[in-house]
Amino acid sequence: MIDKKSQYDAMFSGVIGQDYEMLNLICPLATEMSRLVGAMVAEYPERSTDKLKIVELGGGTGITTLSILTAREAATVFSIDNEPTMQSQAKKHLKKWADEERLFFCSDDALTALENLATDSVDIVASAYTLHNFQNTYRQKVIEEIFRVLKPGGQFINGDRYSLDDISKHTRVVQQEVSGYFKILTKANKLDLLESWIVHLFNDESENHIMRESLALNQLREIGFSQINLSHRMEANALVTAIKPA
């Protein structure tokens, strides 16, 4: 019997190809978090007969985008990413959905793109592994804009690196993560990729970037979100959802 995870992997490797296969090899928790973002989109209650308007921050090569698109047929996705190489791959991978006018691309940075959207105009803002890359001050502005553009009752869904409040425990988790990178990528003889991941991890863990769990949830609360929930904690990764009060 083929389980749901196998079906998911098969579908994504068929559409996304080597990009999905490599990410799943290096960081399987990241591909699982993309799946969970799509699952949460699928659970969003239908409030009208109109198509859901979904904004995705950091579309990358399209892995999370595809999860969102397949989760909800009656939806349009506005995918934002200012990294042209990655977005060009997403456009290639997801051409079918773009041709059907279910998917639209924006090459602005996240804050600029959100600032250009109307207040109370979006049902869902979804993301995976994007917000933790932002510097703290920029992230604050982005989250404020997410709150503004969401409709009352709209939902923010983010699968990302939410660092553990217990710093010692978090350090051990990151050490295990780095050890895994070395084992996998040295065996695959991809030392250039190993270097890139380690350098990026140093950026993730820096004080002006790290997204500590309690501080991040409190930030959402102070901006005005309600029903804030952190679930599916997997090492340094977690799924966070929040609602703009109706």
Distance CA 158, CA 144 (A): 15
pLDDT confidence bin for 46, thresholds 50/70/90 = confident
Q: What Cα–Cα distance (Å) separates residue 15 from each residue in 91, 95, 219?
A: 12, 10, 36
pLDDT confidence bin for 2, thresholds 50/70/90 = very low
Q: Is there a contact between 26 and 20 (Cβ–Cβ < 8 Å)?
A: no
pLDDT at site 115: 98
Pair of tokens at residue 123: 């049902």
Backbone angles phi, psi at 83, to 5 degrees: -100, 100
Distance CA 34, CA 169 (A): 24
Rg of the chain over CA atoms, in angstroms?
Answer: 17
Pair of tokens at residue 52: 């859901």
Name all domains of the chain by residue range, CATH numbers in brackets. 4-163+209-243 (3.40.50.150)
pLDDT one-digit tens code per residue, 3-28? 555 655 555 455 554 554 666 667 77
pLDDT at site 29: 81
Distance CA 224, CA 196 (A): 37
Distance CA 2, CA 126 (A): 28
Q: What is the H or E stretch that residue 224 is in?
A: none
Q: Indicate if the alpha-carbon torsion angle 81, 84, 88, 93 is positive or negative.
A: negative
Q: What mean pLDDT do residues 108-129 have?
A: 97
pLDDT one-digit tens code per residue, 145-162? 999 999 999 999 999 999
pLDDT at site 229: 98
Distance CA 135, CA 137 (A): 6
Q: What mean pLDDT do residues 108-137 have?
A: 96
Distance CA 63, CA 65 (A): 5
Q: Where are the alpha helices (DSSP H) in the chain?
A: 4-15, 18-26, 28-43, 63-71, 84-93, 95-99, 110-115, 136-149, 167-187, 191-205, 213-223
Closest CA to 216 of 197, 198, 233: 233
Closest CA to 24 of 5, 40, 38: 5
**Is a pLDDT exceeding 50 seen at residue 214?**
yes
Closest CA to 109 of 74, 133, 77: 133
Distance CA 102, CA 195 (A): 37
